[in-house]
Amino acid sequence: MGGIPPDPAEGGGLMQAITEFFEKNPELWKVASLLISIAVTGLIVWLLLRLSRKVFTQIRLKKKNINVQFTEKIVRFLVIFMAVMWVVMSNDLTKSFGQTLFQSTTVIAAVAGFAAQSVLSDLICGVMISATKPFDIGDRISLENGASGIVTDITLRHVVLRGIDTQMFIVPNSKVNAQYVKNMSYHTTIRSVDFRFKVAYTSDPEFAREVIRNAIIESPYSVPGRAYAPSTELEYAKIYFLSFGESSLEMGTTAYYEPTTPTEVFKDDINTRVKKALEDNHIEIPYNYLNVVVDQKEGA
């Protein structure tokens, strides 16, 4: 596209004038050809991205998982990257710059080593997450740094988690890949939450177990989610006496709920029901308090 356009057919007065103009101003023709190349390539990229979006939308309707999300982002990136390379390398004005940029090992090494180090790290970690699938789209996960939510997207650089209400956690892929990940939805359609309840030392553990379990079963949000061998029928989780605390007995269990129920709503309902059930059954919920003794000296 960097050459002078051919002569027009006989009788094309306007085309002849344009041709003569560009023959006298070859640099202007280079600029014009660059603009034309950008316009045509931009149109092709737009069409390809629209086609890609439709194809991946159809795929997601059948199989919505993290691999599809990440592959779509890779395809879009490659389409745009290849388009930019084509425009740069096909025009006389930018060809020398493109050759320096894409063929010089020194430039590539410098860019990769300094400007793109974190980007490359996130990209590689994104590929690893997509391949090993420690979590999937729609899973509720909790990260070691405290971020917790439902996985809604994965891009070339980060994982998106939806937290409470409008909170969104944007976590770089390299950070996710390096952290301990707790997945409450791993290979199951039912989600779960771990609960810890403290009761006084004077409480009967067996009675406390029964009260807590009944409160969880009565919740309209809780569902059976665990099978105890040899049975294969799903049941509500057992209540366990976990430890002796400094001032209480610690009871623990796992409660299950459907993915359509917001986790915060489920936690709120279970905690409220258990507290009321313990109080109604006269089971003390201990808490730390401080006695302050004031020594009033004589004559003070």
Q: Are residues 267 and 217 in the same domain?
A: yes
Q: Are residues 243 and 174 in the same domain?
A: no
DSSP code, position 239? P
In this predicted structure, what is the pLDDT of residue 104?
56
Whole-angstrom CA distances from 210 to 222, 239, 257, 273, 275 are 16, 8, 20, 13, 14
For residue 175, the domain's CATH number is 2.30.30.60
CA distance 193 to 191: 7
Q: Are residues 159 and 201 in the same domain?
A: no
In a domain, 250, yes or no: yes
In this predicted structure, what is the pLDDT of residue 232?
84
In a domain, 127, yes or no: no
Q: Are residues 176 and 213 in the same domain?
A: no
In this predicted structure, what is the pLDDT of residue 148?
86
pLDDT bin (cut points 50, 70, 90) of residue 23 is: low
Q: Tens of pLDDT along 27-64?
A: 666 777 778 888 888 888 888 888 888 888 777 777 66
CA distance 142 to 160: 12
In this predicted structure, what is the pLDDT of residue 176?
92
Q: Are residues 53 and 84 in the same domain?
A: yes
CA distance 66 to 77: 17
In this predicted structure, what is the pLDDT of residue 11?
46
Q: Are residues 178 and 203 in the same domain?
A: no
Q: Tens of pLDDT along 142-178?
A: 898 888 888 988 888 899 998 877 788 999 999 998 8
pLDDT bin (cut points 50, 70, 90) of residue 241 is: very high
Q: Which domain holds residue 244?
A: 191-280
In this predicted structure, what is the pLDDT of residue 223?
94
Rg of the chain on CA atoms, in Å: 32
Q: Tokens for 244? A: 């002796």
Inform me whether the pLDDT recorded for 76 exceeds 60: yes
In a domain, 241, yes or no: yes
Q: Are residues 28 and 93 in the same domain?
A: yes
Q: Are residues 95 and 42 in the same domain?
A: yes
Tell me how far apart the 2 most distant CA atoms of the chain are, in Å: 123
pLDDT bin (cut points 50, 70, 90) of residue 284 is: very high
Mean pLDDT of 213-229: 92
Q: How many domains does the chain have?
A: 3
CA distance 28 to 25: 5
